[in-house]
Every structure is written in structure tokens, then in C-alpha cells.
Amino acid sequence: MKADFVYTGIRVRDLERSVAFYTKILNMQVTGRQKIKEADGEVVSLQSRKDGPELELNFYEKGSTHDAPYTVGEGLDHLAFRVGNMDEAIREAEAAGHPVVLDVRTAKSRWVYIQDPDGLYIELFS
């Protein structure tokens, strides 16, 4: 599949503390924020400059299947790739042995997650 790398998502323990750090210390701007019911979490997207790469902060509520023990340096949550045709990308990934493990749909968008050979979540969106 043809895919463009777009952003990195990291897992954080305290969402508000992390937003304050990235916006006040590193001067990043919040470009989006939303709750994700499928993951019992919330995400905040930030950028240093318009059209630059994004950093996505991912916070998961206690009890979420994604709320794993936190170890410093192991907070990488997922890598995100934009695909041209979601259905085609899913078919290609599944045919290669990488089935969808999470399918998130909102009123305006859809993104799915597959896993790389080591279990890292790879987000596909169009």
C-alpha cells in the first residue's frame, strides 16, 4: 500500500500536565482534542509549525484495555500513516497477516489500527 508517515502518538500519564509542558515549554500549539470512546481515552494533537509533523498525546482512563503500566521511554503509543483508500489498505494489510485490531469511527473520520511484527500499533487513516 502507498502510505505517508504523518505523526507520532505517545502515551502520557497526566494529559493536562503534558499539554502544559508541550505548549508552555516547547511552544507547540494544540490543533485538536477529542475523546475516543472505543479506547476509553482522550487525544490531544500538537504542532510546532503549520503543516509540520504532529505529536499526539494519548491518555487512557483506568480500566481501559490500553491503560498499561507506564515505563519511561516506552510511552510510544503508535505511528500514523495516511492511506489513499482505506478499504484497499485494510485488505492489503489483512492479506499480509496484519488484521485490524481496532476500528474507530467518528462523524467526520475513521482510523484503524493494525500491529507491526513486534506488536506496535500502526494507525491507518485517509
What CATH number does residue 30 fall under?
A: 3.10.180.10
Burial, 47: exposed, middle or buried (Cβ in 10 Å; 0-12, 13-18, 19+)? middle
Q: Does residue 113 sit in helix, strand or coil?
A: strand
Top pLDDT among 90 and 25 is at 90
Residue 107: phi, psi to the nearest 5? -60, -30
pLDDT score for 73? 67
Q: Does residue 126 sit in helix, strand or coil?
A: coil
Convert the pLDDT of each residue in 21-69 to its tens digit: 899 988 899 999 999 988 899 999 999 988 889 999 999 989 888 878 7
Question: Which stretch of DSSP H or E encloses residue 89?
Answer: helix 86-95
> What is the count of structural domains for the chain?
1
What pTM, to 2 d.p., does this model score?
0.71
Convert the pLDDT of each residue in 71-88 to its tens digit: 766 778 888 888 999 999
pLDDT score for 114? 92
Question: Which stretch of DSSP H or E encloses residue 27?
Answer: none
> Which of 38, 82, 76 is CA-nearest to residue 57?
76
Reading the block at residue 69, the C-alpha cell is: 503500566
Domain that includes residue 51, residue range: 3-125
